[in-house]
Amino acid sequence: MKSKNPPEEPAHEDNFLESSRRDFLKHSGLLTAIAFTPSPLVKAAQSGLDEKIADLYEKVPVSLEVNGVKHQLSIEPRVTLLDLLREQLELTGTKKGCDHGQCGACTVHVDGHRVNSCLTLGVIVSGKKITTIEGLAKGDQLHPMQEAFIKHDGFQCGYCTPGQIMSAVACIREGHANSEHEIREYMSGNICRCGAYPNIVNAIQEVKEGGQAV
């Protein structure tokens, strides 16, 4: 007569399963420890060594003339002309506004043409001549456009003024200051948050009509 109770599983199977679980947990813990243990590269990054090493390999030489002064610099390829001017050459007259090429506060001249320096890489202007707001005046003698902005109150807070003046000079040089409408059109890339637009237009018109060299 057969027994109604099922046969008991061998004890060695329980021991095997328990042993397997212990081995799995042991190996899992080891892998986790390895994964979260900082590697030499991570440690180097944390200590800043990677940045120093990167500087040695990533910087490139550039040669440019800024406001009549020649400079030999070593810069990272990603550095903008705006940051190069402000941080390396300490020419802080060029302002960082939106940093996206939408406000015109960073306008400078590159080989006589106006550009948004926040959108221009420093390596691209190597070998070129740069003019910033600091380079317009001749010593204590202000540029005619600077004088006109003062005369016509072409600014309030003044933050956008360097870029406005640089664009205003270019506007006349480009031949786009023949009417109020044309001036407004070709100065539209420069934003004045204080709303001094009518006075800015008046200043540009006076310099244009006065026939002064810009």
* Domain end point (choices 82, 115, 135): 135
Segment 147-204, tens digit of pLDDT: 999 999 999 999 999 999 999 999 999 999 999 999 999 999 999 999 999 999 999 9
Give domain status of residue 11, yes or no.
no
What average pLDDT does the segment 44-69 reach? 78
Neighbouring C-beta atoms of residue 153, cutoff 10 Å: 13
14 pLDDT more than 60: no
The pLDDT-based confidence of 37 (bands split at 50, 70, 90) is low
140 and 105 in one domain? no
pLDDT at position 75 is 95
78 and 129 in one domain? yes
Give domain status of residue 191, yes or no.
yes
Give domain status of residue 143, yes or no.
yes
Q: How far is CA 155 from CA 4, 49, 86, 90, 91, in A?
A: 102, 46, 22, 23, 20
170 and 146 in one domain? yes
Mean pLDDT score across all residues of the chain: 86
45 pLDDT more than 80: no
Give domain status of residue 190, yes or no.
yes
154 and 96 in one domain? no
Of 109, 86, 100, 88, residue with least CA distance to 163: 109
107 and 141 in one domain? no
Instruction: Quote the number of domains for the chain.
Output: 2
The domain of 125 spans: 57-135
67 and 127 in one domain? yes
141 and 209 in one domain? yes
Distance from C-alpha of 72 to C-alpha of 75, rounded to nearest angstrom: 10
181 and 144 in one domain? yes
Higher pLDDT, 26 or 58: 58
